[in-house]
A = this chain, B = another copy of it.
Amino acid sequence: MDYVYGPGRNHLFVPGPVNIPEQILRAMNRNNEDYRSPAIPALTKTLLEDVKKIFKTTSGTPFIIPTTGTGAWESALTNTLSPGDRIVSFLIGQFSLLWIDQQQRLNFNVDVVESEWGQGADLDVLASKIAEDKDHTIKAICIVHNETATGVTNNLGTVRKILDNYQHPALFLVDGVSSICAIDFRMDEWGVDVALTGSQKALSLPTGLGIVCASPKAIEASKTAKSLRVFFDWKDYLKFYNLGTYWPYTPSVQLLYGLRAALDLIFEEGLDNIIARHNRLGKATRLAVEAWGLKNCTQKEEWYSDTVTAVVVPSYIDSAEIVRRAWKRYNLSLGLGLNKVAGKVFRIGHLGNVNDLQLLGCLAGVEMILKDVGYPVKLGSGVAAACAYLQNSIPMIPSRI
Query: A residues within 8 Å of B by Cβ?
Result: 1-12, 14, 16-23, 25-39, 42-43, 66-71, 74, 102, 105-107, 198, 200, 206-208, 228, 230-233, 248-255, 257, 260-261, 265, 268-269, 274, 277, 327-333, 335-336, 353-362, 364-365, 367-368, 371-372, 378-381, 383-388, 390-391, 394-397, 399-401
Contact = CB atoms under 8 A, between A and B. Distances in A.
A31 B2 contact: no
A206 B383 contact: no
A261 B29 CA distance: 15
A228 B106 contact: yes
Nearest to A236: B70
A28 B367 CA distance: 33
Given A265-B5, A379-B388, A67 B66 contact: yes
A400 B38 contact: yes
A282 to B, nearest CB: 15
Shortest 6 CB-CB contacts between residues of A and residues of B: A380-B384, A8-B355, A361-B361, A17-B32, A360-B364, A34-B333
Contacts of A396: 328-329
Given A5-B268, A357-B361, 9 more contacts: A7-B269, A12-B31, A74-B231, A207-B250, A228-B228, A356-B365, A357-B364, A359-B361, A380-B384
A231 B70 contact: yes
A378 B384 CA distance: 8
B31 A25 contact: yes
Contact of A6 (B208, B328, B355): B355
A3 B42 contact: yes
A269 B7 CA distance: 7
B387 A367 contact: yes
Given A20-B31, A228-B107, A380-B380, A8 B353 contact: yes
Q: Which of A14, A16, A31, A66 has the most CB of B within 10 A?
A: A31
A231 B1 contact: no
Given A200-B250, A383-B364, A34 B8 contact: no
B17 A33 contact: yes
24 contacts: A7-B265, A7-B353, A8-B353, A8-B354, A9-B9, A12-B32, A14-B34, A20-B31, A22-B30, A26-B29, A38-B327, A66-B208, A67-B67, A70-B249, A207-B252, A328-B400, A360-B361, A360-B365, A360-B383, A361-B364, A368-B394, A380-B384, A380-B387, A383-B383
A8 B9 CA distance: 13
A349 to B, nearest CB: 9
